Structure 1
Amino acid sequence: MPRLLLLLLPLLLPLFPHPISSNPFPITPRFDPNLNIAGDAKLATPGSFVHLTDPSKSSRSSGLLFQRAPFKFLGPKPRSFSTDFTFSIPPRNSDGIALIIVPKDFPSRLSGESFGLSRENRFFGVEFDAMVNENVGDENDNHVGIDVGSLVSLKISNISSIKLKLSSGVKLHSWVDYDSSSKRLEVRLCKFGGARPFDPLLAYQVDLGEMWKGEEVLMGLSSSSGASLEATSVYSWSVRARRVPTWLHSQPVDPFKVSNEHTREHKMVISNRPCLVALLSGLIFAVGFGALVAFAALFFRAIFASEKEAEIQPKCILYPGEFRYEKVNVVVDDNTVNAKN
C-alpha cells in the first residue's frame, strides 16, 4: 500500500492547492512592491526576476505572481488599467504565460495545470499560449488569446504574424491596456528592448465592470509546465490603475456600435483630406488673384498720373501774324538829279 501511494503521489500532487509564500517581495525598480508569489513560483537570486515554474520537479509545475491588494472594477469611479511585463518561455513543455484577473481567494486554489486555472471557472485571462491543447481548440502553439471563464479562447491572434516565437527562450515585452469607458482591451507584444508597437496585436470588446461588478479581484501572472529543463520567468511587471469619471462611463456597449464609430471616425479623417487640399488651393488662388489686382491697380494709377501731369503743362497758344502790304510810290525830283550831275 505505501508503495502504491508513492507511485500515485506525482499524479495526485497537482490536485492539491499550492501554498502562498509569506516571504516579503524585495523592493526593486523592475517590479511593483505590492507583489506576492504562490505555487512553485520563486525569486531568483538576488531577486532580479521570478521563476513561475520549477524545472527541478518531475511532475507538472505551476506558479503565480500576483498583486497583494485586491481591487474593484466598479466603484465611485470605474477602473481602467495599463500593465506591462517582460518574460521568457522555455523551448519545451511549457503552457506559456497568462495575465489573469481572478477572485481574491484564487491563490489558495492554484492548480498544477492549464496556467493553474484547471479548477477555476470564474476568471478573465490573456493567454500567451506556447502549447497546442486540442481539448480547448488551440490552432497552434504560438498565439495570444482572450479567455473568459474557460480556456477555449473567444478571440486569438497568431504571434507568427509579427515574426516572434513564444517558446524560443527569448525575452519578450507585452503591454495590456483596458479602458472602462470604451470597454476595449488591447494587447501588444514585441521583443525585449523594442519600442511599444503602435497597433495592437489583439483588441477585444469586454465589460470587466459588468463581469465582476463590485467584487474584489486580484491580478496576476501565471504559468504551468510539464517536465522542463528551464523555467518560465518574469523579469519585470508594473500595473498602473486609472479612474474614469462616472459621467464618462456607460453601461454595456454594443461592440458593433464601437466598431462603427471607429469606422466613421476613420472615414471622417479621410473625407477631411480633400477639404484641406481645397482650402490650400483656394488660399493660393486668392493670393494670386490679389497680387494680380494690385498689379493692375498700380498700372492704371501710373497711366492716370501721367495724363494728369500732361494736363498741368502750360500750353503755348500761337496766333498767326497779321501783315499788310501797301504800295509805295517813289517820286524822284528832277532838281535833285540835276544837282548831282
Structure 2
Amino acid sequence: MTFPISRHSKASYVLIITLLPLFSEPISSLSLQPLAKNPSNFDPQIGLFGDAIFINSDSTRSVRLTRPAPSSSGLLLHGKPFRFLKPTSFSTDFTFSISPQTRVGLALIIARSDFPSKFSSKTETPFGLYGENRFFEIEFDKLVNGNVGVGVSGLKSASVSNASLANVGVKLQSWVDYDASSKRIEVRLGGFGSARPYNPLLAYPIDLAGMWEGEEVVVGLSSFSGHSVQSSSVYSWSFRVRSVPKSMHSQPIDPQGYTNEFVEEQEKVQKKSGCALGILSGLFFATGCGVLAAVVLLFLWAMFVDRNVIIPAEGSVHPVDFSYEKINVIVEKSLEDVKGKL
C-alpha cells in the first residue's frame, strides 16, 4: 500500500535531510571557540573552554588555563577528533609553566569526543574530568621537594631532579610520543628552547587502540588550580597524528602458520643457495679439468713430436776442396863464387 506525498511534504523532507547533518555534529565541534588571529605558536584547530583565555601582549602570546583564584580550571582543546582505527601513532610538543603556589599542575588528556560538553570550570574534580570514567592523561605537577613530577593516569610516575628544570614557574617544554607498533608512550621534558632529549624521562606500555576500540576521541591540555591561586599557562602547542598502513607492519595471526611460512622461506633460500654453490663448484671443476688436459697435451707434444727435430748449430760449416803441390827448390852455385869467398 502506498501513500501519496504532497509537495509540502517533499519540501519538509528535503529540509530535514539538509539540516540533519548540522544537528548530528558533536557538541565539541559546535562549542569550539577558535583562538583569535590564529597565532603561529599554536595549531589552527584549537579552542578554549572553561576559564582558559588567550593573552596577546607585546612580550608573549599564550593561553592562560586558570584564573588566579581557587577552584579554577580551563581546557585548551585540539578541535579535530580522531580514531585509533589503523595503527595510529601521535606526537605532540608544548611549552608551559606551572605556578609555584600549588602542587596541582597541567595535564595532557585524551578522552571521548563528548568530553568538552561535560567540562566545567566550577567542578572540584581535577582537570574537569567530572563524570568521565574512561580517559588517559599525562600529568605534570609540582612536588613537595620542588621538583616537577610526571605521571601517566596515576599508574606510573617519575620526577625531574635537574635543578634547571625543578624551578617551578619557569618555562618547560615537553615532547610526548605514542608508537602504535610497539604500544608504548614516551614522555620527555626539557627547558624552554632546549634540544629534544634523546632518552625519555618516562616510558609506559599502553594499547590506546584497544582502550578506545575505534571510538572517536579528542586531545587537550587542561589545568586545575585547586584551593590555591595558581595560574598555569601554555605558550605553544603542536599535535600530529600518524596513520601507518597495515601492509607496513608484520602482524601474524597464527604463530604456528608464521613458523611454517618462515621454515618454507628458509628452505627456499637454502635451495637457491645450494643451486648457486653447485653451479660455482661445476665451473671450478670444469676449469681444473681444462687446465689439466692442456698440461697433458703439451707433455705429449714434447715427447712424440719434438724428439725428431734437430736443432741446427749456431755457426754453419761448408765443405771445401784441399790440394797441395810439392815444390823443389834447387840452388846452384858456381865454383868460382865459392872459391872466391875462400
TM-score, normalising length: structure 2? 0.60
Partner of 1:45: 56
Is this contact kept in 2: 1:53–1:61, CA < 8 A? yes
Given candidates 124, 128, 149, the residue that maps to 1:143 is 149
Deviation at 1:30, TM superposition (A): 0.7
Match 1:101 to one of 98, 106, 110 = 110
Structure 1 partner of 2:189: 189
Counterpart pick for 2:88 among 63, 75, 79: 79
TM-superposed deviation, 1:117: 3.0
Q: Could you tell me whether the CA contact under 8 Å between 1:181 and 1:244 is conserved in 2?
A: no
| 2:139 equivalent to 1:115 | no
Which of residues 41, 63, 68 in structure 1 aligns to 2:74? Answer: 63
Q: Secondary structure of the equivalent of 1:168?
A: coil
Contact 1:85 1:237 in 2 (8 A): yes
Per-residue deviation at 1:113? Answer: 3.8
Cα 1:252–1:82 change in 2 (3 A) is farther
Cα-to-partner distance string for 1:274-314 (whole Å, 9 max, x where unaligned) = xxxxxxxxxxxxxxxxxxxxxxxxxxxxxxxxxxxxxxxx9
RMSD across aligned C-alpha pairs, in angstroms?
3.4
Q: Would you say the 8 A contact 1:94–1:131 is kept in 2? A: yes
Deviations 1:43-86 (A, max 9, x none): 1135821001111x2x2221111112221111xx3321111111
Paired position in structure 2 for 1:282? none
Q: Is the 8 A contact 1:86 1:235 kept in 2?
A: yes
For residues 158-307 of structure 1, what are the structure 2 equivalents within 5 Å?
158-160=159-161, 162-166=162-166, 168-226=168-226, 228=228, 231-248=231-248
Equivalent position SS for 2:56: coil
In structure 2, stretches of 5+ residues that fail to align are 1-29, 254-312, 316-330
> In the alignment, what sits opposite 1:340?
341
Shift of 1:141: 5.2
1:37/1:66 contact within 8 Å kept: yes
Question: CA separation in 1, counterparts of 2:165 and 2:112?
Answer: 31
Structure showing greater Rg: 2
Preserved CA contact (<8 Å) 1:89 1:167: no
Residue type matched to 1:53 in 2? T
Normalising to structure 1: TM-score of the pair? 0.60
Distance 1:166 1:52 in 2: 21
Cα distance between partner residues in 1 of 2:204 and 2:33: 36
For each residue in 1:86-122, what CA deviation from the matched residue of structure 2 results, as whole angstroms up to 9, or x when unmatched?
1111112141111110111222234344333354331
Q: What is the CA deviation profile of residues 134-158 of structure 1, one whole-angstrom value per residue up to 9, with x for unaligned ones?
A: xxxxx985221211xxxx3x22222
Aligned equivalents of 2:107, 2:184: Cα separation in 1: 18
- Partner AA of 1:124 in structure 2: F
Offset of residue 315 of structure 1 = 9.0
Cα distance between partner residues in 2 of 1:164 and 1:117: 31
Is the CA contact (8 Å cut-off) linking 2:77 and 2:221 kept in structure 1? yes
Q: 2 CA distance for matches of 1:222 and 1:250? A: 37
Q: Which amino acid aligns with 2:63?
A: V
Matched letter for residue 49 of structure 2: A
Q: Structure 1's 145 and 249: CA in aligned 2 closer, same or farther, altered over 3 A?
A: farther
Q: 1:241 to 1:209 in 2, by over 3 A?
A: same
Indicate how the Cα distance of structure 1 residues 252 and 204 shifts in structure 2: closer, same or farther if over 3 A, else same.
farther
Task: Return 5+ residue gaps in structure 1 as ranges.
Answer: 1-19, 133-138, 254-313, 317-330
The 2-side partners of 1:252 and 1:225 are apart by 48
Provide the identity percentage: 51
Instruction: Quote how far apart the aligned CAs of 1:247 are.
Output: 3.1
Q: Which residue does 2:157 correspond to in 1?
A: 156
- Paired residues, number: 236
Query: Does the Cα contact within 8 Å between 1:62 and 1:112 map onto a contact in 2?
Result: no
Write the deviation string for residues 117-137 of structure 1: whole angstroms up to 9, x where unpaired: 3543311111112146xxxxx
Could you tell me how far 1:215 is from its partner in structure 2?
1.0
Matched residue, 2:141:
129
